[in-house]
Amino acid sequence: MMNNIESLFDIAIEKIKESERIYIVSHVQPDGDNIGSILALWIAIKKIKDKVFILKTDDIPSDFLFLPNVNEIKEFNDEGKIDMFIALDTSDENRLGKNKELLNKAKTIINIDHHISNTNFGHINIVDSNAAATGELVYNLIKKMNIPMDKDIASCIYTAISSDTGSFMYDNTSAETHRIIAELIDIGIDKSNININLYQNKSLERTMLFIKSLETLRLYFNNNVALIKVTQDMLNKANAKMEDTEGIVSFIREIAPVEVGIILKEFKENEIKVSMRSKRFIDVSAICASFNGGGHIRAAGCTINSPMDIAEKLILDELKKVF
């Protein structure tokens, strides 16, 4: 960790200690890093503070419902002032969705994240793009607060880090990542149970959607780009939800010649959410940034407000510039 991050942690800890009502906020379409980080920090702060709450921004995907205290993620009910607002794994204000407007009500905003594109929207911004997951930063924060790392906290941190590293496979996984994971295992997490819940628990509906979406697979630019589509019609036929697309885009990146895997998800007729994954050399966050999105070099996303076929053309036109 860099020294200025160390001192930002100290400032954040001071502020946490002196704040009365603390709200930890999830982001839109929350992933394992977001949910794991939020729950870990909530469990930790709850040990020293009474009034700490977790704000729900979107529904929690079923994959994460096994996590301890997941029912603490609740809608905001305006029952008091917001002394502190903590955003985790949230690259910009818009990722806070309907809870974005609460930023104005908060006395102190702490923004802890690992996206290089983070907009530093907090009063205290702890942004470290070298961290494989926000879960690593939360782990360091809890350690620095001298709060004992129990099995529940450790399970949430493990979920966060495993989610963002592709189960410790992606090249963001560092020696430090493995050192943290070793400690979580020493604490006694049931990693087999966590892994089964995260990765070996697919519903039949999700499996059918997986098969149907692979039927839409198209390869472009000498097989360097693989693209699949999921429409509302496909979801209805498979009796699945959009969250059931999780894992499909990483799967198509696994095809040998493919450098970039893309999934186009039709949330509404004119609202296509794009997820991109790259393997070796393409910076997909830069491509998504041209559509006002962002993310990481090897995993990024954006939303295009056009029908599916136009969105597909726009994305392919952008990719043509790099292939």
Is residue 92 a contact residue for ligand 5GP (CB under 6 A)?
A: yes
Tokens representing 236?
Answer: 């209805």
Shortest spacing between CB 237 and Mn ion, in angstroms: 32
CA dihedral 120, 126, 131, 137 (to 10 degrees): -140
Calpha distance 308→21 (Å, rounded) = 44
Residue whose structure tokens are 């709850």: 46
Is residue 91 a contact residue for ligand 5GP (CB under 6 A)?
A: yes
Is residue 57 a contact residue for ligand 5GP (CB under 6 A)?
A: no
Q: Tell me if residue 124 falls in helix, strand or coil.
A: strand
- The only residue of 15, 21, 212, 296 in contact with ligand 5GP, by rule CB under 6 A: 296
Shortest spacing between CB 155 and ligand 5GP, in angstroms: 22
Calpha distance 125→19 (Å, rounded) = 17
Calpha distance 152→224 (Å, rounded) = 42
Question: What residues numbered 195-234 form the site for Mn ion, per CB under 5 A?
Answer: none
Nearer to ligand 5GP by Cβ, of 122 and 301: the residue is 301
> Rg (Cα) of the chain, in Å, rounded?
20
- The only residue of 89, 128, 259, 312 in contact with Mn ion, by rule CB under 5 A: 89
Calpha distance 306→261 (Å, rounded) = 20
- The only residue of 118, 155, 197, 275 in contact with ligand 5GP, by rule CB under 6 A: 275
Partner whose footprint covers residue 302, from Mn ion, ligand 5GP, none (CB < 5 to 8 Å by kind): ligand 5GP
- Residue 278, H or E segment: strand 271-278
Shortest spacing between CB 302 and ligand 5GP, in angstroms: 5
- Residue 285, H or E segment: helix 284-289
- The only residue of 227, 240, 295, 311 in contact with ligand 5GP, by rule CB under 6 A: 295
What angle is formed at CA 29 by the lines to CA 27 and CA 30, rounded to 5 degrees?
A: 60
Nearer to ligand 5GP by Cβ, of 140 and 245: the residue is 245
Nearer to Mn ion by Cβ, of 19 and 29: the residue is 29
Cβ atoms 224, 259 nearer than 8 A:
yes
Q: Which residues contact residue 318 at a Cβ distance below 8 angstroms, ignoring those fewer than 6 apart?
A: 287, 290, 291
Is residue 32 a contact residue for ligand 5GP (CB under 6 A)?
A: no
Is residue 136 a contact residue for Mn ion (CB under 5 A)?
A: no
Nearer to ligand 5GP by Cβ, of 37 and 275: the residue is 275
- The only residue of 125, 303, 307, 314 in contact with ligand 5GP, by rule CB under 6 A: 303
Task: Enumerate binding residues for Mn ion (CB under 5 A).
Answer: 33, 89, 134, 164
Task: Enumerate binding residues for ligand 5GP (CB under 6 A).
Answer: 31, 91-92, 117, 275, 293-296, 299-303
